[in-house]
Amino acid sequence: MAATASEVKLLGAWASPFVTRPRIALNIKSVEYEFLEEKFGSKSDLLLKSNPVYKKIPVLLHQDRPVCESLIIVQYIDETWTSGPSILPSDPYDRAIARFWGAYIDDKFFPSLVGIAKAEGPEAKAEALEQTKAGLELIEKAFKECSKGGEFFNGDQIGYLDIAFGCYVGWIRATESMHGFKFFDEEKTPGLVEWAERFCTHEAVKDVIPETEKLIEFAKKILSKPPPST
């Protein structure tokens, strides 16, 4: 199914890992789209209208019909534009496993990564670092099992789990730089080290993964802002 940029729009922000997911999926399927940038700290009327429940990005607008939540959008893209490479595994079990790890990454791994910046005191920071490190070791095992010897989680090509985890690579590297801790470790996560390099240089990915230095500047601005008053 061909599409023009006027038929497909994506509401998002450049620094959001969740917005990176549908951008990669659309690139994999060679779908033209218009990227509508949301300003940090504000929500456009179009966003509030398109996602009245969560009021969050990303939102995919396909022929003016909104689809919300990043991994749901990725699945929608895969099922709508079937002429391109498949994003979700074809085998039902493999597809279920990919969804399982995608949920783990969002529910467990990412909160621990965010917890490093939010930690108050050295003990809390150390705990968040250890949780993130343990999470990456689990994801390393998942890579070995899901890739089945291929270069990506999905085997020989980028798929659902590559997108689900890969959207965080920029923020992982930014956190490494800001806190002086190495997450992608050649000894403990050798598979992820090589995978991250392949993933970030892939044609569908390289232009949408934010630069580490830009993310660091963005993070510093966020952290410097006082918390909202209650």
For the chain, where do the domains classified as CATH 1.20.1050.10 start and end?
A: 92-220
Structure token digits, residue 4 = 């023009």
Identify the CATH number of the domain defined by range 92-220: 1.20.1050.10
For CATH 3.40.30.10, the residue range(s) in the chain are: 8-80
* Per-residue H/E/C for 46-98: HHHHHCCCCCCCCEEEECCEEEECHHHHHHHHHHHCCCCCCCCCCCHHHHHHH
pTM: 0.94
Architecture of domain 8-80: 3-Layer(aba) Sandwich (3.40)
pLDDT in 10s for each residue of the chain, 230 residues: 566 667 999 999 999 999 999 999 999 999 999 999 999 889 999 999 999 999 999 999 999 999 999 999 999 999 999 998 999 999 999 999 999 999 999 999 999 999 998 898 999 999 999 999 999 999 999 999 999 999 999 999 999 999 999 999 999 999 999 988 899 999 999 999 999 999 999 999 999 999 999 999 999 888 776 554 43
DSSP states of 107-171 as a string? IIIHHHHHHHHH--SHHHHHHHHHHHHHHHHHHHHHHHHHHTTSSBTTBSS--HHHHHHHTTHHH
